[in-house]
């Protein structure tokens, strides 16, 4: 039996952000964790137990570099900002960021999961904002995050040109994915794993029962 550990994002001093919390799933009272990371919990290769990270206004798997905005750069409070490989979420579609008002997540008309640039809330015409749904099966420790944007049946990770990184899209047949064929993409049902406020990160031990 192997033990694998994934580091989930945790941002200190987040403060209150007014975003929809949402509820769905087998437990009608279930809501999104206050702040959470997204982890591929299924045995899906090549990104079993990988986290979903934000970079260049898009979301990725197998791309550890997260592009973050730090309003404290050059000050004695710079340590409040996360390292470059941490991405955390709140509610049904916002980044847990140090940017005033946060950064909104949306699905654009190509199907790509995106987020707004720091200090702006502008999303493209026709995009679906706050796209996440949350399901917590009875007795489960962690719920999963999905989307119904543009009639999607969840998310998918799609290969990109000349890179090991996979970009995250809403899963529907008309999605305009990087290599042009949605059949190249892999379905995803990422787990929403909460963190304990005040810590730089939380380690989640995920047990691989395969021999």
Instruction: For residue range 86-104, list pLDDT tens digits in order.
Output: 688 889 999 887 666 678 9
- What pLDDT shows up at residue 41? 80
Task: Find the range with the poorest average confidence among 75-89, 109-123, 179-193.
Answer: 75-89
CATH classification code of 2-13+26-72+80-208 = 2.80.10
pLDDT of 109 > 70? The answer is: yes
pLDDT of 111 > 60? The answer is: yes
Domains of the chain by residue range: 2-13+26-72+80-208
Report CA-CA distances (Å) from 170 to 42, 73, 136: 18, 34, 20
Q: How far apart are CA 116 and CA 53, in angstroms?
A: 14
Contact 174, 12 (CB under 8 A): no
pLDDT of 159 > 90? The answer is: yes
Mean pLDDT of the chain: 74
The count of other CB atoms within 10 Å of the CB of residue 135 is 17
> How many CA atoms lie within 13 Å of 101's alpha carbon, on the beta-carbon side?
9
Question: Is the pTM of the predicted complex or chain greater than 0.85?
Answer: no
Contact 157, 51 (CB under 8 A): no
- What pLDDT shows up at residue 185? 95
- What pLDDT shows up at residue 187? 93
**Dihedrals phi, psi of 76, to nearest 5 degrees:** -75, 0
What's the pLDDT tens digit per position in 41-88?
876 767 777 889 888 899 999 875 565 555 555 666 655 555 545 688
pLDDT range class, residue 27, cuts 50, 70, 90: low
Q: Which residue in 152, 10, 31, 26 sits closest to 83, CA to CA?
A: 10
């Amino acid at each position: 039996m192997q033990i694998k550990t994934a580091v989930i994002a945790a941002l200190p001093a987040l403060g209150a952000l007014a975003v929809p919390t949402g509820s769905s799933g087998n437990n009608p009272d279930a809501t999104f964790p206050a702040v959470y990371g997204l982890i591929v919990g299924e045995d899906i290769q090549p990104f079993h137990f990988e986290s979903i990270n934000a970079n260049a206004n898009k979301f990725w798997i197998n791309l550890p570099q997260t592009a973050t905005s730090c309003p404290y750069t050059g000050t004695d409070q710079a340590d409040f900002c996360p390292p470059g490989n941490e991405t955390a979420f709140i509610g049904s579609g916002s980044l847990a960021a140090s940017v005033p008002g946060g950064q909104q997540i949306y699905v654009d008309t190509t199907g790509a999961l995106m987020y707004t640039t720091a200090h702006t809330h502008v999303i493209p015409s026709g995009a679906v904002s706050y796209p996440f749904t949350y399901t917590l099966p009875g007795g489960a420790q962690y719920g999963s995050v999905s989307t119904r944007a543009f009639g999607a049946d969840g998310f998918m990770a799609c290969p990109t040109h000349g890179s090991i990184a996979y970009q995250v899209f809403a899963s529907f047949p008309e999605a305009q994915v990087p290599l042009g064929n949605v059949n190249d993409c892999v379905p995803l049902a990422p787990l929403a794993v909460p963190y304990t406020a005040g810590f730089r990160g939380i380690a989640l031990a995920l047990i691989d029962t395969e021999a």
